[in-house]
Chain A
Amino acid sequence: GNSVTQMEGPVTLSEEAFLTINCTYTATGYPSLFWYVQYPGEGLQLLLKATKADDKGSNKGFEATYRKETTSFHLEKGSVQVSDSAVYFCALGPDAGNNRKLIWGLGTSLAVNP
């Protein structure tokens, strides 16, 4: 069945460092892909999405490209800030095979130090 694999955390970076959080997927068809972010004490917020191959989602300086050939959707940011400290979740959208459910990665915790 469909699945999502995220790199394990925690990831600890210094402010202004480059960030990559890896996400790979297994899916039948070409479902949409999402990155969600959860700040401490809050629910999840949609960060960005891509709906088809080669699409690039971007928001708040974060980017991710839907790569069909490598079945990946890695999250990147060129210069992280302390305020980016949060847990990041990769999610696979529904397709004909999974009854309209989102499939979630386990989350990657990011801590950014000043």
Chain B
Amino acid sequence: SAVISQKPSRDICQRGTSLTIQCQVDSQVTMMFWYRQQPGQSLTLIATANQGSEATYESGFVIDKFPISRPNLTFSTLTVSNMSPEDSSIYLCSVSTSTYEQYFGPGTRLTVT
């Protein structure tokens, strides 16, 4: 399994601002994913980020709100843009092996005031 780190671990942000979350993996991986976990809710996939191609967004999530970069096989960023209190959540990145298993980072806890 891969070791995954995320920065920041938590942040409190003002409404209307943007936050960029970083995800670093200790080995090269093809597929990286970004999830949102709202309080008391399940994990919801935001997008799949593959190196060398545009991210693929799930229904209800758009690039203007959640732009993603994937500059190489060990790093990705997710930006939460023009934030509102509804964006308060835990944001998680994960990586996938070839057997569909996913391994998760520790998460970023975002509070928007």
A and B interact: no
B-side residues, CB < 8 A to A, are none
A-side residues, CB < 8 A to B, are none
